């Protein structure tokens, strides 16, 4: 199954160059449909670019904190020097904590197929 998701330029570029291998998302109803073996077409919302990736593994977490503690900064596309509190603050600019409590978090292990 194909899924479409949007990304800002920086995480898009990190996926494209192969350094970001985990996409962090809220485990909402749309993302609950994503399974290993599916494909995601990421659209760069800042530039006219898209990239197709294969979902290798879907890992569910109760919270973004648990997810961030389980994966390296490089895997999730964050600066190596960022502390947990900084990473959470960045995620909470996109997702709210009420939704996190309700849905949990999702780590999508991905690999690039084509641009």
User: What domains, with CATH codes, occur in the chain?
Assistant: 2-111 (2.30.130.30)
Mean pLDDT of 21-36: 97
Is 70 exceeded by the pLDDT of residue 114? Answer: no
Is 70 exceeded by the pLDDT of residue 102? Answer: yes
For 68-78, write each residue's pLDDT tens digit: 999 999 999 99
Nearest to 110 by CA among 13, 8, 24: 24
For 85-98, write each residue's pLDDT tens digit: 999 999 999 999 99
Mean pLDDT of the chain: 95
pLDDT of res. 113: 92
Task: Report the alpha-carbon distance of residue 39 to residue 19 in Å, rounded.
Answer: 18
CA angle 62, 90, 50 (to 5 degrees): 90
pLDDT of res. 16: 95
Nearest to 22 by CA among 64, 73, 65: 73
Q: Is 55 helix (H, G, I), strand (E, B) or coil?
A: strand
């Amino acid at each position: 199954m194909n899924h479409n998701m949007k990304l800002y330029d920086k995480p898009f570029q990190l996926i494209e160059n192969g350094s970001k291998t985990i996409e962090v998302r809220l485990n909402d109803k749309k993302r609950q449909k994503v399974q290993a073996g599916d494909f995601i077409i990421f659209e760069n919302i800042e530039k006219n670019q898209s990239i197709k990736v294969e979902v290798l593994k879907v890992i569910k977490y109760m919270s973004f904190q648990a997810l961030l503690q389980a994966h390296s900064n490089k895997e999730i596309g964050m600066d190596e020097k960022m502390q947990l509190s900084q990473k959470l603050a960045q995620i909470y600019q996109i997702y709210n904590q009420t939704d996190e409590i309700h849905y949990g978090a999702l780590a999508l292990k991905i690999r690039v197929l084509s641009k």
